[in-house]
A and B are shown apart, each in its own frame.
Chain A
């Protein structure tokens, strides 16, 4: 009896240790999530995901003005909205997604002369208007220093209020969105899996189901194992030396592109997929194989109809790990896909994934830790969604099977 009690206590302790170990993982993830949320939650909104990265710039000029605005500062504007009576324009200070100070148009009176500017870059000089939400980067005058957004909205309004004309007003849309990088990431996941999954799973099938236990197999296995040890930065250099020229030669690409990045990532993923698939193929009891063979199925049928389906949950886990790696990889992709942030995405063109986007933000001077954290949150959300999706799919599959 005492023996059994001792056993029970020991069991309890051992079990508690596994709880504690698991808790550490939970703890680390919580810390990371708290950390990135603390830094990045301020910027998270739907616009960030749908907006372009590159702002569109406009240069407005103005003809001689006969009638200025007569609108007085509307009561709904606050103290932080600086208002010019003459121009019927209110400007306010804000911070953009890059963490830089910007000046935003918060109000424009109906009788403001700024409704009738002409587009200096348009050959016909068509008229256009300033709009609420536009970002004013500078107002330039003849024979006077320009009013710049870096000095704030108040100074800009004061400079404008003192003048009856200006040479040029430079304004833009709000850039810094991550739509392009998001699309590139999804493309990259898709193409990487297309290259890596079949190759990896077939290699694993060969190694577990077909290969004889001889010197040749051991060498092959050793070579694949070695691949796991290659640091991603070296994969990146390899991608730059092998896949980038290859895609330039056989596709319309002219530099590093999504395809070369995906191929490089596929090589990185191969050993991971092969390893996990092999491990899950080992779970499949030999009786299944024997039973299938005894029923007259050949080796191929056995492999595809019996072994592979039983190993599917393991392969799904491998796929998820792989997707996680694709989303998170930056060192290799800096070389293999490039760091140019784009809005129009083509699989043969330059663009960059979210992780490399984060990397770019972090290596900026000054680094944009807020937006980097926001993108990290988005990455975690994507992974979570994919994760749940794959789990639902596999559940549905198991129910049908």
Chain B
């Protein structure tokens, strides 16, 4: 009898356990879900907050100055026509183009360097060398952006100024599109490298071994197979990189020259980005001239969102081998 009971309980135990297991899984999953939703909800808080402030200049009369014309704001080629604090003729059309142009070129420079460095660290370098390189990249990531700005205005500007001279161009103290691109490329390089490295390391050994077994050399495998398989992660790195480039403010405002109109496509001309416009005089200004910076911030976020969407679409187009 007792043995039968024992047998019964032993039969039931796994079932009970399974139920309990299910409950734990459910609770854990719920906690994780809540934390995930919290993480995701911050973007809503930010959009609501910036949106509330940023729309104000367009729908109120701004203390008698009159409301800002949205179409003019988005398409014009001069930051402010007329006297500050008295005029409502603001526009950032040129700065949108500048921002995209500069960030894209910075990404074009930083991407190949970053991905190749990542490949070097993950696959080519010896263990010791790759540890050193990784530390170097992490150090670069930790350099405060104000220091990149300090470095940029102390060294990059001089470099660009002399470079322009070699080309027979008189630049404005080196404050230029090129200087901005170079500083931004430096700043996003560590982000791109670090994330690409993780992506490259995440490529399954079996894919690599397959390629090697088929007679490909190690280098061939690295470039053809590993990089291709890691492209989803590399795209994520690009998305983070361009996000940082589009949104960087302090360093950019020290080397861009803060042109008040544009767009500037010439490498040696001064320029200005959405962030440099936001930052310029932010602490000393009042009234509409202050509120409008939030509108610029709103435009900036739209630009970033837009470019993220495009990159995400591109990411999907190139296909993702290993995304679950």
Contacts and interface: CB of A to CB of B under 8 A. Distances in A.
Interface stretch (A129-137, A138-146, A371-379): A371-379
Given A35-B154, A220-B40, A376 B120 contact: no
Contacts of A11: 217-220
B46 interface: yes
A18 B43 CA distance: 37
Nearest to B123: A18
Contact of B312 (A202, A225, A303): A225
Contacts of A317: 194, 198
A320 interface: yes
A224 B139 contact: no
A328 B304 CA distance: 22
Interface stretch (A76-84, A108-116, A226-234): A226-234
Interface stretch (B2-10, B69-77, B130-138, B170-178): B130-138
A229 B138 contact: no
Interface stretch (A90-98, A149-157, A203-211): A203-211
Interface string B185-215: 0100111011100110110100000000000
B141 A324 contact: yes
B120 A19 contact: yes
Contact of B250 (A22, A303, A331): A331
Nearest to A324: B142
Main secondary structure of the interface of B (DSSP, over half): helix
A355 B144 contact: yes
A227 to B, nearest CB: 5
Interface stretch (B57-65, B85-93, B145-153, B261-269): B145-153
Given A229-B247, A358-B144, A387-B138, A279 B240 contact: no
A198 B36 CA distance: 11
Contact of B246 (A7, A210, A213, A229): A229
Interface in B101-148: 112-117, 119-121, 124-125, 131, 133, 135-148
Interface string B213-253: 00001111011000000000100100110010011111000
B29 interface: yes
A254 to B, nearest CB: 21
> Counting chain B CB atoms within 10 Å of each CB, which of A228, A320, A384 scores highest?
A228
B249 A270 contact: no
Given A14-B223, A21-B120, A270-B42, A206 B195 contact: no
A276 B195 contact: yes
Nearest to B50: A234
Interface in B39-55: 39-46, 49-50
B166 interface: no
A24 interface: yes
A61 interface: no
Contacts of B138: 320-321, 324, 383, 387
B303 to A, nearest CB: 9
Contact of B204 (A8, A267, A285, A379): A285
B45 A242 contact: yes
Contacts of A359: 146, 250
A341 to B, nearest CB: 15
Interface residues of B, number: 98
B202 A282 contact: yes
B202 A329 contact: no
A230 B233 contact: no
A203 B24 contact: no
A237 interface: yes
B278 interface: yes
Interface of A: 7-8, 10-11, 14-15, 17-22, 24-26, 28-29, 31-32, 35-36, 39, 198-200, 202-203, 205-208, 210-211, 213, 220, 222-235, 237-238, 241-242, 267, 270-272, 274-276, 279-280, 282-283, 285, 298-300, 303, 314, 317, 320-321, 323-325, 327-331, 355, 358-359, 362, 369, 372-373, 376, 379-380, 383-384, 387-388, 391
Interface of B: 21-22, 24-25, 28-29, 31-33, 35-46, 49-50, 112-117, 119-121, 124-125, 131, 133, 135-151, 154-155, 186, 189-191, 193-195, 198-199, 201-202, 204, 217-220, 222-223, 233, 236, 239-240, 243, 246-250, 275, 278-279, 294, 297, 300-301, 304-305, 307-308, 312, 322-324
Given A225-B312, A298-B21, A303-B28, 11 more contacts: A22-B121, A25-B140, A32-B151, A198-B35, A199-B35, A206-B35, A210-B29, A210-B33, A228-B243, A324-B142, A372-B146
